Amino acid sequence: MKTSILSFALVSILGTTVMAAPKAYTFTYKPKAKDSFTLTMQADSRQEAFKVASKACFQKLTNGEYPGEEKGLDYIDVCANPKM
């Protein structure tokens, strides 16, 4: 009896921890003075993909350099609000 309860508990725990395969999520960004571009990210959830895509968007717009406060805020606005 103890073995069957322990086995059931173990199977239940393992069943809930199995991760789904990453899925592709696509985000389109339209900066004011530049052409729009699309980023596709692989992640377990849309929220995780959004975080990674937002960082990649900002990196792409700034080319890794400090853009200044005003442009930086504009870029943050663009990257935080992709076109759906």
Residue 1's pLDDT is 53
Which helix (H) or strand (E) covers residue 25, if one does?
Answer: strand 23-29
pLDDT at 60 over 90: yes
Burial zone of 62 (CB within 10 Å; 0-12 exposed, 13-18 middle, 19+ buried): middle
pLDDT at 4 over 60: no
Residue 6's pLDDT is 45
User: DSSP assignment, residue 81?
Assistant: S
Residue 44's pLDDT is 97
Mean pLDDT, range 65-71, rounded to an integer: 96
